[in-house]
């Protein structure tokens, strides 16, 4: 891809977290940027404020003239956009250069020393941790992030003099196979996106293929004991990480809680970084921090002082174990969890920090296919809560599947304190709740409830 020859870039699905980072990249490169999305969001309004032209009607008459020259316009789309989308059909019929987001990200990042973070869970947290640690070194970095970093309040980091590019390697639609990592990090390997992969073995095969994309003399950072059988002959250097298992190359020791923050030491193959404090909660984030340190350590950029400064100052990511209210007996946490393993990890992390408090959890299932495929697993995770409220399934890119709804999960939850609610009704449930902790989970439009629930819990805390 010759960026110099591109005058304007049109994004179909511009409001997505990954697409918006790429749109910001092209805007920073001096291109005219615009696009379409099916609904306006706070993020899409931010893009408009930054000078991007966005419309929200699937009508090609709304496309501005500066995006109608196929010689100088690049069209980028996300695989979540259906083939029936009028914009996609229009640009295809007119013979425009049309690229998937993953292809474009690969073209940009593969030219740099890229660190690609893969895994069915933890990608965003680890990638953002790596980027923040690197920003605390002289090397700095560029980064496409899958969430909004609270340290920088954005999902794109640009340092033109840096040779490092941090990228999330998304397994959906096998997008990560467009990347050629210099450093590959794999955090987890649970079955997911079975609407794409059909079987768990196909997921594993895709991850093996991703590993095969690592550059010669590059690095693989693999979670210890991950069920991924790789070839014995390798053209890369392999290291493992773990929360506490000393058989791994990188692991934590002496983990302890200090004022609700975790303090620990990090063992690496060459040194032990003593008494590190992590700026965010959750034992799972300690493990994510180990993975991030491993990624910069193999590059020779792991200075103990900068690591300690970076981890302590790490503020987290919006919608990732995010505390909105943290007062005694009045706590509200919002999380992006939309897979059974993510729910289990998040709930257990809350219980580690607040072992005596009762938890009301509000969960919006994401995708009909995922609800169908993992209904029993969702129920098993959600029974860990003291009270469960389910919202209707958020369809995202899917059409309804007959017989698949939130009731499928509800009937399997072994907890008598459970119900299905509308988004409007759930606010009354929160107002009446005596539970000390309120948590919202989901990757859909449950995010619209964050502000009103935060206000309810804040009001309750002042009472």
pLDDT of the residue at 397 = 76
Domains for the chain: give ranges and CATH numbers. 3-100 (3.40.50.720), 110-313 (3.40.1190.10), 322-462 (3.90.190.20)
Short-list 70, 117, 115, CA closest to 90: 70
Residue 58 φ then ψ, to 5°: -80, 65
Q: Residue 349 has what pLDDT?
A: 92
Helix 123-135 / helix 283-297 crossing angle, nearest 10 deg: 50
Q: How far apart are CA 368 and CA 75, in angstroms?
A: 29
Query: Looking at residue 129, what is its pLDDT?
Result: 98
Secondary structure letter of residue 170 according to DSSP:
-
Which distant-in-sequence residues (6+ apart) come within 8 Å of 232 by Cβ?
none
Task: Give the contacts of 237 (CB within 8 A, at least 6 positions apart).
Answer: 217, 218, 219, 220, 298
pLDDT at 151: 97
In three state form, how does the secondary structure of 302-344 look?
CCHHHHHHHHHHCCCECCECEEEEEECCEEEEEECCCCHHHHH
Tokens 């404090």 found at: 277
Question: Cβ atoms within 10 A of the Cβ of 201, count?
Answer: 10
Averaged pLDDT of the chain: 93
pTM of the entire predicted model: 0.90
Q: How many CB atoms lie within 10 A of CB 188?
A: 18
What pLDDT does 193 receive? 52
β-sheet with 261-267: strand ranges across:
251-258, 261-267, 272-277
Higher-confidence position of 150 and 399: 150
Query: Mean pLDDT over residues 124-129, rounded?
Result: 96
Ramachandran angles phi, psi of 96, nearest 5°: -75, 160
Give the count of beta carbons closer than 10 Å to the beta carbon of residue 9.
Answer: 27
Q: Is the pLDDT of residue 454 over 80?
A: yes
Which of 116-138 are b and which e, b meaning 16 or more Cβ less than 10 Å from the residue's Cβ? bbbbbbbbbbbbbbbbbbbbbbe
- Confidence band (pLDDT; 50, 70, 90) for 74? very high
Mean of the pLDDT values across residues 49-77? 95
Confidence of residue 196 (pLDDT cuts 50, 70, 90): low
Looking only at the bridges linking them, the beta strands covering 142-149 and 164-168 are: parallel
Q: Pick the closest to residue 115 from 93, 101, 103, 133 (CA basis).
A: 133
Q: How far is CA 165 from the centre of its chain?
A: 17
């Amino acid at each position: 891809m010759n960026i110099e020859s591109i005058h304007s870039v049109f994004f179909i699905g511009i409001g997505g977290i990954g697409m918006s980072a790429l749109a910001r990249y092209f805007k920073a490169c001096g291109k005219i940027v615009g696009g379409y999305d099916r609904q306006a969001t706070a993020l899409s309004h931010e893009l408009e404020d930054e000078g991007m032209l966005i419309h929200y009607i699937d009508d090609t008459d709304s496309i501005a003239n500066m995006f109608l020259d196929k010689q100088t316009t690049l069209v980028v789309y996300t695989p979540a956009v259906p083939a029936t989308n009028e914009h996609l059909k229009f640009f295809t019929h007119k013979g425009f250069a049309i690229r998937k987001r993953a292809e474009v990200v690969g073209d940009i990042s593969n030219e740099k020393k890229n660190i690609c973070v893969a895994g069915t869970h933890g990608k965003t947290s680890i990638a953002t941790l790596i980027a923040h640690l690197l920003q605390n070194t002289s090397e700095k970095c560029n980064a496409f992030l899958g969430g909004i970093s609270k340290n920088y309040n954005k999902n794109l980091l640009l340092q033109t003099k840096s040779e490092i590019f941090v990228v999330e390697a998304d397994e959906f639609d096998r997008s990560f196979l467009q990347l050629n990592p210099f450093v590959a990090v794999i955090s987890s390997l649970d079955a997911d996106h079975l609407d794409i992969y059909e079987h768990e073995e196909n997921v594993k095969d895709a991850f093996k293929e991703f590993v095969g994309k690592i550059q010669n003399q590059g690095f693989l950072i693999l979670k210890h004991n991950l069920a991924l059988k790789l070839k014995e002959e390798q053209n890369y250097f392999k290291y493992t990480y773990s929360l506490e298992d000393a058989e791994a190359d990188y692991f934590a020791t002496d983990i302890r809680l200090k004022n609700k923050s975790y303090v620990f030491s990090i063992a690496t193959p060459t040194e032990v970084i003593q008494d590190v404090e992590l700026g965010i909660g959750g034992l799972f984030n300690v493990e994510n921090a180990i993975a991030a340190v491993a990624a910069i350590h193999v590059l020779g950029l792991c200075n103990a002082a900068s690591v300690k400064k970076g981890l302590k100052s790490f503020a987290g990511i919006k919608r990732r174990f995010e505390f909105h209210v943290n007062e005694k007996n009045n706590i509200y946490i919002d999380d992006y969890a939309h897979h059974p393993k993510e729910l289990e990890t998040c709930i257990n992390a809350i219980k580690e920090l607040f072992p005596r408090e009762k938890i009301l959890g509000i969960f919006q299932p994401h995708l009909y296919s995922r609800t169908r495929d993992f209904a029993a697993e969702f129920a098993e995770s959600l029974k860990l809560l003291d009270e469960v409220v389910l919202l209707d399934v958020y369809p995202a890119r899917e059409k309804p599947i007959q017989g698949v709804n939130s009731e499928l999960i509800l009937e399997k939850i072994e907890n008598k304190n459970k119900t299905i609610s509308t988004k409007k009704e759930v606010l009354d449930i929160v107002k009446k709740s005596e539970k000390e902790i309120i948590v919202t989970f989901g990757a859909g439009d449950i995010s619209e409830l964050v502000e009103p629930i935060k206000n309810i819990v804040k009001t309750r805390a002042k009472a």
